[in-house]
A and B are shown apart, each in its own frame.
Chain A
Amino acid sequence: MLEYLSTYKQTILGEYYKAIKTPIVYLVFIASFLVVLGVSIVYLINVAGMVDLNTNPWDHFINRTLAVNAIFMMLPFVVLLTSYSTYLEVRSNTWKYLYTLPQNRSVVYVSKLMVIIGMLMISLLTYGALVLVLGLFLDIAYPIFEFRYYVPDFSLFLYDVTHLFVALLGVISFQYWLSIRTKSIILPIGVGLLGFMIGFVLFTANNAYADYFPYAFAMKIKGFSMVKNSSADFCAWWGMSGGINAAACIGFTLLGVYQERGVRG
């Protein structure tokens, strides 16, 4: 058992080392940076429209960045992250090296998936840190925003980011499984973008199917209001969408492990 865990540990460390030495790491930071930077630029060019006196400016700033992140950025980001992580091996001709390592192929499969999930986590943590840094920067540029006089609601912020993270796990597992099966970049990105567009249409049309479609789950996160009001939306999300998400995540991971184990016993 210890030997088994040690094999996982060394493979995860190897995959992590590879991720930080390749363009994957840029993808992780750029995704978060673009969101917060984009919202900050809107604040800078429309100061009067963004100032909301006597309310916590952090609430609005966090909600706006979270909405942009959840609706526009995170899905394309995870589609690119999963597709590029596997395509990197195809382009470098390294699959056969990974598959001739003295370990079960399912170890490679799971370790890679863990590192992709870890990269998503790092991206969201970076996003959180950048929100705070750029909020303070906006305050230095325009003290009228009054960021310095208020404290962000860290627990709600953490809850929202966690929510977003969980909402993406189903899509990650499916996209990763698809990338590994096809060993291609075009097909998984095509499927991912199609899912994103359908999800976006369902979400904007407020269609009931958005609750059952994993590509729309992240978009349904509505920021602080969803948690603060303990609204029906929130409960429904964790009940229905959360269940489908968990099933997709566990299902596609187990399917991938089963298929990889089938190749080498």
Chain B
Amino acid sequence: MTAIPNIIELEGVSFGYNKQSLLLDQLTLKIPQHAIYGFIGHNGAGKTTTMRLILGLLQPQAGKISVFGKEGKYNSVSMLARTGSLIETPPLYEMMTAYGNLKLACKYLTLPYVRIDEVAEMVRLQGQLHKKVRQYSTGMKQRLGLALALLRDPDLLILDEPTNGLDPQGIKDFRLLMEQLRQMGKTIFLSSHLLSEVEKMATHVGILQEGKLRFSGTIAELNQARKRHLKVQVKVSAASRVNELISSHVLDHETLVLSVNNREELAGHIKKIINAGISVYEVVPQKSDLEEIFLDTLIPNPITLC
């Protein structure tokens, strides 16, 4: 079996706006071809900085960045010809119409104007193109920003918080579009605060904390990690007595949540409860999403996400 090549490779990349504090510290990241790579981290973790470094908007202080197999610094023009991006807020001229914005991009990229209708259909903005951008809602601006990124039919899409401002239907449409693009052979690198959304669309996940990658792997590998950090809800005759025996989170007088690292540990806990003369009525595994893993498991001191 041949290995899937990596579209983006970061090796020991460090970056900081001042020498005292590094925003990214020896970051190593590999994004395979045809993947939807969800990049997760709290505010200030370094997600946007990583994306800006990949696009050549910032220069790393140490380490190597390769895109499409070549180091970015020497290959950036050809790399950018194959890359579409949406970093932070969409780059739009508000006094122009949406069509005007897309037409301007076509002029820069020497693309035929028919491409405008194609991307407008992809992001479901048909019929809205002749409105001034300042009349657009946040979600519509986000769609238009995505259309700009898609205009050059890129092999690689780098999207920073692309679901910001989208309504639930918009998020669903976005998810479908990402899957369609992946099936068309595109590679997508996206960051999001909506961790449950990333789980629904990504094939790979990377979790960034304080400039360091805490986890990187496929969704299956993440599920393995989730199994290793199992949570079960247990109904017993006296929850407070169980809490004296085993460290747990008591929900009410007969319900508690146990955190265990594997099934054997769980069996041992149940045995201990029964041996103490407490009746066990129900044991239900809790499905933890990425956010829970992110907050409860991978970060020793949980922080609040925005």
A21 and B96 contacting across the interface, CB-CB below 8 Å? yes
B151-162 to A contact mask, C-beta < 8 Å, 1/0: 010000000000
Cβ of A246 under 8 Å from chain B: no
A72-93 to B contact mask, C-beta < 8 Å, 1/0: 0000000000000000100011
CB within 8 Å of A: which B35-59 residues: 52, 55-57, 59
Least CB distance, B212 to chain A, in whole angstroms:
25
Least CB distance, B189 to chain A, in whole angstroms:
14
Cβ of A228 under 8 Å from chain B: no
User: B70-78, B191-199, B201-209, B243-251: which lies at the A interface?
Assistant: B70-78
Among candidates B78, B80, B92, B95, residue contacting A21 with C-beta atoms closer than 8 Å: B95
B85 and A17 contacting across the interface, CB-CB below 8 Å? no
Cβ of A49 under 8 Å from chain B: no
B83 and A100 contacting across the interface, CB-CB below 8 Å? yes
Chain B positions within 8 Å of A104 at CB level: 77
Cβ of B91 under 8 Å from chain A: yes
Cβ of A182 under 8 Å from chain B: no
B109 and A22 contacting across the interface, CB-CB below 8 Å? no
**Known contacts A21-B93, A104-B77, A96 near B104 by CB under 8 Å:** no
**Known contacts A21-B93, A94-B92, A265-B73, A101 near B55 by CB under 8 Å:** no
A87-129 to B contact mask, C-beta < 8 Å, 1/0: 0100011111101111110000000000000000000000000
A11 and B59 contacting across the interface, CB-CB below 8 Å? no
Chain A positions within 8 Å of B110 at CB level: 6, 10
Among candidates B55, B77, B93, B94, residue contacting A103 with C-beta atoms closer than 8 Å: B77
**Known contacts A88-B93, A92-B92, A99-B57, A17 near B80 by CB under 8 Å:** no
B76 and A264 contacting across the interface, CB-CB below 8 Å? yes
CA A6 to CA B107, docked complex, whole Å? 11
CA A104 to CA B79, docked complex, whole Å? 12
CB within 8 Å of B: which A216-262 residues: none
Cβ of A263 under 8 Å from chain B: yes
CA A246 to CA B240, docked complex, whole Å? 86
B95 and A96 contacting across the interface, CB-CB below 8 Å? no
A93 and B88 contacting across the interface, CB-CB below 8 Å? yes
**Known contacts A100-B55, A100-B83, A92 near B109 by CB under 8 Å:** no
B164-205 to A contact mask, C-beta < 8 Å, 1/0: 000000000000000000000000000000000000000000
Chain A: which residue is nearest B106 at the CB level?
A14
Cβ of B100 under 8 Å from chain A: yes
| Category for how many chain A residues contact B | 20 to 34
CA A6 to CA B108, docked complex, whole Å? 11
B109 and A101 contacting across the interface, CB-CB below 8 Å? yes
Chain A positions within 8 Å of B148 at CB level: 97
Least CB distance, B105 to chain A, in whole angstroms:
8
Chain B positions within 8 Å of A181 at CB level: none
Most chain A Cβ neighbours within 10 Å, of B83, B90, B93, B148: B93
CA A14 to CA B105, docked complex, whole Å? 8
Cβ of B34 under 8 Å from chain A: no
CA A99 to CA B87, docked complex, whole Å? 12
**Known contacts A10-B107, A101-B109, A96 near B77 by CB under 8 Å:** no
A22 and B107 contacting across the interface, CB-CB below 8 Å? no
Chain A: which residue is nearest B107 at the CB level?
A14
A92 and B108 contacting across the interface, CB-CB below 8 Å? no
CA A263 to CA B73, docked complex, whole Å? 9
Chain A positions within 8 Å of B73 at CB level: 264-265
B94 and A92 contacting across the interface, CB-CB below 8 Å? yes
B81 and A102 contacting across the interface, CB-CB below 8 Å? yes
B108 and A94 contacting across the interface, CB-CB below 8 Å? no
CA A22 to CA B87, docked complex, whole Å? 23
Least CB distance, A111 to chain B, in whole angstroms:
10
B259-285 to A contact mask, C-beta < 8 Å, 1/0: 000000000000000000000000000
CA A18 to CA B78, docked complex, whole Å? 25
B59 and A263 contacting across the interface, CB-CB below 8 Å? yes
Chain B positions within 8 Å of A190 at CB level: none
A93 and B92 contacting across the interface, CB-CB below 8 Å? yes
Among candidates B80, B88, B93, B96, residue contacting A101 with C-beta atoms closer than 8 Å: B80
Chain B positions within 8 Å of A10 at CB level: 107-110
Least CB distance, B49 to chain A, in whole angstroms:
13
Inter-chain pairs besides A21-B95, A95-B91, A96-B88, 16 sampled, C-beta below 8 Å: A10-B108, A10-B110, A13-B107, A17-B107, A21-B104, A23-B95, A92-B91, A92-B92, A93-B89, A94-B91, A94-B92, A96-B52, A96-B57, A100-B57, A102-B81, A263-B59
Closest A-B pairs by Cβ, 5 of them: A102-B81, A97-B91, A14-B107, A94-B91, A102-B80
Task: List, sorted by A's number, 14 A–B pairs whose CB atoms are closer than 8 Å.
Answer: A10-B107, A17-B103, A21-B100, A21-B104, A22-B96, A88-B93, A93-B89, A94-B91, A96-B87, A96-B91, A97-B91, A97-B148, A100-B83, A102-B152
